[in-house]
Amino acid sequence: MTFDQWLLLSKQVALVIFFITFVGVVVWAFWPGHRQRFEQQGRRLLEEEEGR
């Protein structure tokens, strides 16, 4: 394999890895079981701002 072929292959592999990571983070963030945790954190931040 030439350098250009290795470069193309590494770019493609990196793109696939980043895409899978992005999809994993989005799925984790919108997973129904995490909703309560996010709502609690959001309320906590609002309560801290009101207390100022």
Domain ranges of the chain: 3-50
Q: What's the confidence (pLDDT) of residue 20?
A: 98
Q: What is the tens place of the pLDDT at every residue in 1-52?
A: 899 999 999 999 999 999 999 999 999 999 988 888 888 988 998 888 777 6
- Name the token pair of 38: 């996010």
For residue 34, what are the contacts with CB-CB under 8 A and spacing of at least 6? 28
User: Is the pTM of the predicted complex or chain greater than 0.75?
Assistant: no
For residue 9, what are the contacts with CB-CB under 8 A and spacing of at least 6? 1
